[in-house]
Amino acid sequence: MVDTDDIKTSKSIQQRTGRTFHLATRVLPKRIRHATYVLYAFFRVADDVVDQPDGPGAAVQHERLEEIREAALGHASATGEDAAVLEAFAELRERHDIPDEEVNVFIDAMEMDIAQARYETFDDLVEYMRGSAVAVGNMMMDVMDVEQQETARPHAAALAEAFQLTNFLRDVREDIHEYGRVYLPQATLAEHGVTEDDLAEANVTDDFRAVMQTELARTEQLYHEGVAGIRYLPEDSQFAVLLSAVLYAEHHRLIRARGYDVLTETPELTRRRRLWLLARTWWHWRRHHDPEAAFYAVSAISEPSPAAETPVGVRDSSQPA
């Protein structure tokens, strides 16, 4: 069993850095909740290596990520202030048979952030998200002990990508100013005549709004695919994943309400709004006991029309949805 103090340390990291995800984690059953604290803390420890505006040089970042990789895989003893988190994760990985591949592709994605700050096409971004998002979803499925993993996997991948893309769309301002990164595909920017100077100078033009509309629509298609797979998760975990989807998707409502302006200020959910969404989602969950029905009854994303449905796993970078 993971040490109680290590769980507390991991939980405090999530409380401090992931308020939206923390609320959803709290409604998980205990058997998964504690493990999720550890997973999130591990992801944050690695992410923090590359997400420091005035952090150390590339060589130091690479070295630290390799130390984290070796400790996470149980190949070396964890050291430093993050030792407790890394030791807890290594134990969790072994107990739940999390494949080494998932750890490796996650760390590889963090290392990509050191050298790569632009993505030419959406397909290029999908390749990055295999490590930064899909690996996270796969590890969560291992912790949940999903019985129908092969059936659930493409849906989980779509939902993980949707969450990541929502973060990218919300954080355009922060990413370019603090980290010098642009996660909007260069092809989409070029198609609408938007330059990086427009992003840096907060020029919220009609062309920029068109970029956001394109990427929001693409992301919402992934929510459609992802939410459709919640039914394949253990019943005691479905509500928490549903709530996560509702909370992340709510940023789309905020973005649209601001006229797609994510350049002058980063949209954020208030605590009151998060709690309201929790209550409303729970009411619809108890009423329907159907994750898709509850999601479309509450969330900022409309139910897809039959003509708009796309087979799970399809990624067409030439189309917004």
Region at 261 (left for phi over 0; alpha for psi -120 to 50; beta for the rest):
beta
pLDDT of residue 317: 37
* CATH tag for 117-300 (out of 1.10.600.10, 1.10.10.10, 3.40.640.10, 2.60.40.1120): 1.10.600.10
pLDDT confidence band for 314 (50 / 70 / 90): very low
Q: Please give the mean pLDDT across all residues of the chain.
A: 89
- The mean per-residue pLDDT over the stretch 164-173 comes to 97
Domain ranges (residues) in the chain: 1-115, 117-300
Tell me the one-letter amino acid at 241: V
Residues 56-82: pLDDT tens digits? 899 999 999 999 999 999 999 988 888
Tell me the CA distances in angstroms from 67 to 88, 97, 141, one per residue in order.
Answer: 15, 21, 25
Residues 214-252: pLDDT tens digits? 999 999 999 999 999 999 999 999 999 999 999 999 999
Q: Among residues 254, 250, 245, 242, which one has the least CA distance to residue 289? A: 242
Q: Are 305 and 321 in contact (CB under 8 A)?
A: no
Number of alpha helices (DSSP H) and beta strands (DSSP E) in the chain? 16, 0
- The mean per-residue pLDDT over the stretch 158-179 comes to 96
pLDDT of residue 307: 56
pLDDT of residue 12: 52
Q: Report the percentage of the chain scoring pLDDT > 70.
A: 88
pLDDT of residue 20: 66
DSSP-H helix ranges across 116-205:
122-129, 135-144, 149-170, 172-174, 186-191, 196-200
Residues 93-143: pLDDT tens digits? 999 999 999 999 999 999 999 999 999 999 999 999 999 999 999 999 999
Residues 19-48: pLDDT tens digits? 566 677 888 988 898 898 899 889 999 999
